[in-house]
Amino acid sequence: MKNTIELTLKVWRQKISEDKGKFETYEVKDIDTSMSFLEMLDVLNEKLTLEGDEPIAFDHDCREGVCGMCGAIVNGEAHGPQKATTLCQLHMRKFKNKDTVVIEPWRAKGFPVIKDLVVDRGSFDRIIAAGGYISVKTGSAPEANNQPIKHENAELAFDAAACIGCGACVAACPNASAMLFTSAKISHLNLLPQGQLEAKERVVQMVEKMDEEGFGNCSNEYECEAACPKEISVSNIARMNREYRDAKFSV
Amino acid sequence: MSNLLSYFKSSIGKKQIVAVTGLMLILFIVGHLAGNLIFYLGPEAFNKYAKKLSDLRPGFYVVEFGLLVVFVVHMTLTASIVLENIKSRTVNYNVKKSSNQRSLSTRLMPFTGTILIAFVVWHLLDFTFTDKHGDASVLQDGMSYGLYGVVYNAFTDPIHSGLYIIAMFSLGFHLNHGIQSFAQTFGFSSPTYTPLIKNISQWTAIVITLSFSSIPVYVLIQFLSS
Ligand code: HEM
Ligand code: FES
């Protein structure tokens, strides 16, 4: 059986970074509730294109919840109302017929809007470039089990590595802080033997890059953890706080 | 050296200094509370304690100056953090929902902090820089009871007591977030201990608030029933 709904969308439209931007209202009809949120936007965009209007620009790639490209604030929540879900994996059955849905881009000084719902997350790439790598001898792949790793650390590192860098943490944070992202990227390497060589440098350089990019300061409100589609834990932030202090006070 | 300078400039460094100064202020608060509770032992014990403290001067000035510095550092850094945080979101959301992770205490930090600093100024004028042997210290029997009398008279006024109690509740809210926040900022986080720390944070805040507030309530009850 096909269930369809109609919605009123209020979407942020902004031509370019320098444009002031404003909300536009659109009515969408016949939305199949088994569509994803992005498919619903596709339907609207087709209609806009046919009518000769500019389609709404939004980021996406895998549409499988693994790449981290998609994301918007939907009715005040990063990636919409469903916990631990990216926008591409959010389905329209989460909405009721005649709902009004407000769609806004991530808002942060570190994420300038490029167009409509698309923001520039280059700041995240620059944080990674500041220390989110390891130095290894390249060559043939090493034997998988020749480097013993404590089970607990392997689990924690793996959990941190689940971060897809979508930016929902920054978007949800009342201070637009990038501590959850940065701490996940640091933890995922610093917990493993391969990350030890640059462990101290890494935390210092990545934290200072994060500050430089204009993100806010963490005030331990934990909105980030609640908004994260991969449920990255704020314990990573605690680990980063500790490692940063230790790196600064060790001679 | 530049290592340390960049620590003080970094977001984490600033937060950690806020946390350390916050911890010092908590220790001060606990000491202050212990002193206040001597009020229940009567005028003689209370005034003796107050005299003992002031007899420690001038050496005590060093401690008081240190406390002032701690206060100023805590305040200026939090003010700069709050301002930076406002600037880090240039355009606000039209609709923003909280996931309910933010407790009331957390949201209110800058406000409860501001109430606290206003309170501290008022409190010093009220009980510290005041004539402890003048009219204000005279109780109903016509005798001067020193600082005990000053405090007693102040609290017989319900508005005065009310403001004092509001300030103590602000302190409670501030500490409810502050103590557990200290742990996170310093990097203690564990699935076992974090919930425990949050409980300790809450209970410490409640006990401190109620203990401080009990004194004006006690005075009011005694005054109204006499
Ligand atoms: C009796 C006095 C005070 C005590 C015991 C106290 C204690 C604390 C503690 C323990 C923290 C937590 C630090 C952390 O996040 O790890 C804190 C944070 C904070 N304090 Fe205070 N404080 C006091 C007075 C003040 C005053 C007078 C102000 C402001 C005018 C203030 C403003 C703040 C703010 C805004 C934060 C949050 C900072 C952030 O989360 O980024 N506090 N305080
Ligand atoms: S499009 Fe890849 S995570 Fe949503």
- Residue A26, sorted as left (phi over 0), alpha (psi -120 to 50) or beta, turns out to be beta
Q: If you average pLDDT over residues A184-195, what whole number do you get?
A: 96
In a domain, A111, yes or no: no
Instruction: Look at residues A43, A78, A104 and tell me which one is the last residue of a structural domain.
Output: A104
What is the pLDDT confidence band of residue B101, given thresholds at 50, 70 and 90?
A: low
Residues of A in contact with B187 (CB under 8 A): 238-243, 245
Q: Is B84 on the interface with A (CB under 8 A)?
A: yes
Query: Is B1's pLDDT higher than 60?
Result: no
CATH number at residue A82: 3.10.20.30
Among all residues of chain B, which has the CA nearest to that of A243? Answer: B187
Interface test with B, best of A19, A239, A243, A248 (most B CBs within 10 A): A248
Q: Residue A251's pLDDT band (boundaries 50, 70, 90)?
A: low
Residue A214, in any domain of the structure: yes
Q: Would you state the pLDDT for residue B44?
A: 95
Segments forming the whole domain that contains residue A210 = 121-249
| Proximal ligand: closest to the CA of B102 | 1
Based on the fold, state whether residues A197 and A134 are members of the same structural domain: yes
**d(CA A89, ligand 2 centre) in Å:** 8
Is A115 a member of any domain? no
Q: Which residues are within 8 A (CB) of B189 and not within 5 positions of it... i.e. 6 or more apart?
A: A234, A235, A237, A238, A239, B183
Residue B100's pLDDT is what? 66
| Greater pLDDT, B208 or B129 | B208
Q: Averaged over A160-176, what is the pLDDT?
A: 98
**Quick one: A101 exposed, middle or buried, by C-beta within 10 A (0-12, 13-18, 19+)?**
buried
Q: Is it the case that residue B4 has pLDDT exceeding 90?
A: no
My answer on whether A20 and A65 are in the same domain is yes
CA gap A125, B38 in Å, rounded: 59
Residue B102 confidence (pLDDT): 78
The two three-digit tokens of residue A10, written as one number: 């209020």
The answer, yes or no, to whether residue B6 has pLDDT greater than 60, is yes
What pLDDT score was predicted for residue B69?
97
- Helix B146-156 vs helix B43-55: angle between axes, to the nearest 10 degrees? 120
Q: What pLDDT was estimated at residue B59?
A: 87
* Interval B19-67: pLDDT, tens: 999 999 999 999 999 999 999 999 999 999 999 998 988 888 999 999 9
Residue A72 falls inside a structural domain: yes
Residue A113 in any domain: the answer is no
- Ligand 1 atom closest to Cα of B19? 13
Domains of chain B are 2-225 (1.20.1300)
A240 and A198 share a domain?
yes
Q: Are residues A141 and A234 in the same domain?
A: yes
Percent of chain B whose pLDDT exceeds 70? 98
Indicate if ipTM > 0.85: yes
Q: What is the pLDDT of residues A101-157, one digit of tens each?
A: 999 999 999 999 999 999 999 999 999 999 999 988 888 888 878 888 999 999 999
Mean pLDDT of chain B: 94
Position A114 in a domain: no
Q: Sheet with A77-78: list strands edge to edge.
A: A22-32, A4-13, A100-104, A73-74, A77-78
Contact A226/B at CB under 8 A? yes
Q: Which of B20, B82, B89, B186 to mutate to test the interface with A (most CBs of A within 10 A)?
A: B89
> In this predicted structure, what is the pLDDT of residue B134?
87
Same domain, A156 and A99: no
Q: What is the CATH number of the domain that holds A128?
A: 1.10.1060.10
Task: Supply the mean pLDDT for chain A.
Answer: 96
Which bound ligand lies closest to the C-alpha atom of B18?
1
In a domain, A177, yes or no: yes
Q: How many structural domains compose chain A? A: 2
* Same domain flag for A165 and A217: yes
Confidence of residue B130 (pLDDT cuts 50, 70, 90): confident
User: In which band, very low, low, confident or very high, does the pLDDT at A177 lie, cut at 50, 70 and 90?
Assistant: very high
- Last residue of a domain, which of A63, A79, A104? A104
Task: Note the pLDDT of residue A1.
Answer: 61
What residue in B sits closest to A108 (Cα-Cα)? B89
Question: Considering only CA atoms, which residue is closest to atom 3 of ligand 2?
Answer: A65
Q: Among the three residues A71, A104, A137, which one is the final residue of a domain in this structure?
A: A104
CB A63 within 8 A of CB A83: no
Q: Are residues A245 and A134 in the same domain?
A: yes
Residues A89 and A125 in one domain: no
Any CB–CB contact under 8 A between B94 and chain A? yes
In a domain, A41, yes or no: yes
A174: cis peptide before it, omega within 30°?
Answer: no
One domain for residues A139 and A43: no
**Same domain? A99 vs A137:** no
Mean pLDDT (whole number) for A193-202: 95
Is residue A36 very low, low, confident or very high in pLDDT (cuts 50, 70, 90)?
very high
Count Cβ neighbours within 10 Å for each residue of B125-146 and write b for 16 or more, e otherwise. Answer: ebeeeeebeeebbeeeeeebbb
Q: What is residue A67's predicted lDDT score, i.e. its pLDDT?
A: 97
Question: Which segments of A133-229 are extended strands (E)?
Answer: none
What pLDDT was estimated at residue B86? 96
Angle at CA of residue B204, ends B201 and B208, nearest 5°: 140
* Residue A244 and residue A129 share a domain: yes
Q: Kindly give the distance from the C-alpha atom of residue B115 to the centroid of ligand 1, in angstroms, as a whole number.
A: 11
Partners of B178 on chain A (C-beta within 8 Å) are: none
**pLDDT at B135 > cutoff 70:** yes
**Out of A102, A218, A238, closest to residue B188 by CB:** A238
pLDDT confidence band for A85 (50 / 70 / 90): very high
- Contact status of A150 with chain B (Cβ, < 8 Å): no
| Whether residue A26 is found in the same domain as residue A100 | yes
